[in-house]
A and B are shown apart, each in its own frame.
Chain A
Amino acid sequence: MSDQTVIMRKLLSATCEEVFDAWLDADGMRQWMRPGAATRCEAMLEPRVGGHLRIVMTGPDGETINTGTILALERPSRLQFSWVSTRWSNQETLVTVELRAHGAQCELVLTHERFPARHSAGQLTTGWTKIAEDLGHYLRFGRA
């Protein structure tokens, strides 16, 4: 099993510059990275290529430590960082955030690859989450 990838899209009511800068603002990140039930979130980020990030989330499940390195910073359209989580055996995964302006709004596309290819992270078509859901349904309930 390889190439597990999550892709999500959202249209945000902000400029791409605002969205891009929000990702690099550790103080702000502390607020929006905090999951619903978590009591605490710490965030540290060095906003440069090669910079480190560290996000600690404390919640009912305990503490999860997420760390990573910033691999690409192309304001305001693209940022990419490795993502390592204590919750997933510290596997090194790859997150790419791409921002495209749509009038006064910004479309955000986030791609999270569990097993990134050795060469640069490519673009993937949509729908892997849906395909995985369908497969899960198939395997649990047999052929429709």
Chain B
Amino acid sequence: MGIHNLDLVFEALADGTRRSMLDRLKGGPLTVSELARPCAMSLNGASKHIKKLEKAGLIRRDIQGREHVCSLAAEALADAMAWLEHYSAFWSDRIDALDRHLARRRKRGAR
């Protein structure tokens, strides 16, 4: 995740309307009009919020017929975190083990 993306995520989450949209998407995918309905704003205004969430990678938009259906991309975030955590520990452990391995070889007088 680049620094650019991270700024977009924080910016997206910093707005109450967008947070409530994310909250409602936890219940399942919604079309753009469904997302806009409870907000006291035009479809255009809601669209701007949705675009920001999409650019930040927090939601996914699929075009189904004439509708745009939005869904949470939270699984992608969770998956990203899991991968990063796994391989941070994986390589850290192994490089430490490599260090010990090299030390043992030196002690034995290996070349």
Known: A1-B80, A4-B83, A132-B81. A32 touches B1 (CB 8 A): no
* CB < 8 Å neighbour of A132 from B10, B14, B80, B105: B80
Within 8 A of A (CB), among B20-55: none
Residue A90 lies at the interface, judged by CB distance under 8 Å to chain B: no
Residues of B near A135 (CB, < 8 A) are: 1, 6, 9, 77, 81
Known: A6-B87, A12-B102, A13-B103. A138 touches B10 (CB 8 A): yes
- Binding site of B, secondary structure by majority: helix, strand, loop or mixed? helix
Residue B63 lies at the interface, judged by CB distance under 8 Å to chain A: no
Residues of A near B90 (CB, < 8 A) are: 35
Q: How far is the CB of A51 from chain B (nearest CB, A)?
A: 20
B94 touches A33 (CB 8 A): yes
Q: Tell me which of B76, B99, B106 has the highest count of chain A C-beta atoms within 10 A of its own C-beta.
A: B99
Known: A1-B76, A8-B88. A14 touches B102 (CB 8 A): yes
Size bracket, chain A contacts:
35 or more
- Binding site of A, secondary structure by majority: helix, strand, loop or mixed? mixed
Known: A131-B3, A131-B6. A36 touches B101 (CB 8 A): no
Known: A6-B87, A33-B94, A88-B83. A12 touches B1 (CB 8 A): no
Within 8 A of A (CB), among B63-98: 73, 76-77, 79-81, 83-84, 86-88, 90-98
A32 touches B98 (CB 8 A): yes
Size bracket, chain B contacts:
35 or more
B93 touches A35 (CB 8 A): yes
A136 touches B88 (CB 8 A): no
* CB < 8 Å neighbour of B93 from A13, A36, A110, A143: A36
B106 touches A32 (CB 8 A): no
Known: A10-B99, A131-B6, A132-B1. A32 touches B94 (CB 8 A): yes
- How many Å lie between the Cα of A10 and that of B71 in the bound state? 41
Residues of A near B105 (CB, < 8 A) are: 18, 28
Residues of A near B76 (CB, < 8 A) are: 1
Residues on B lying within 8 angstroms of A by beta carbon are 1-3, 5-6, 9-10, 13-14, 57, 73, 76-77, 79-81, 83-84, 86-88, 90-103, 105-106
Residues on A lying within 8 angstroms of B by beta carbon are 1-4, 6, 8, 10, 12-14, 18-19, 22, 28, 31-36, 87-88, 108, 110, 112, 114, 128-129, 131-132, 135-136, 138-139, 143
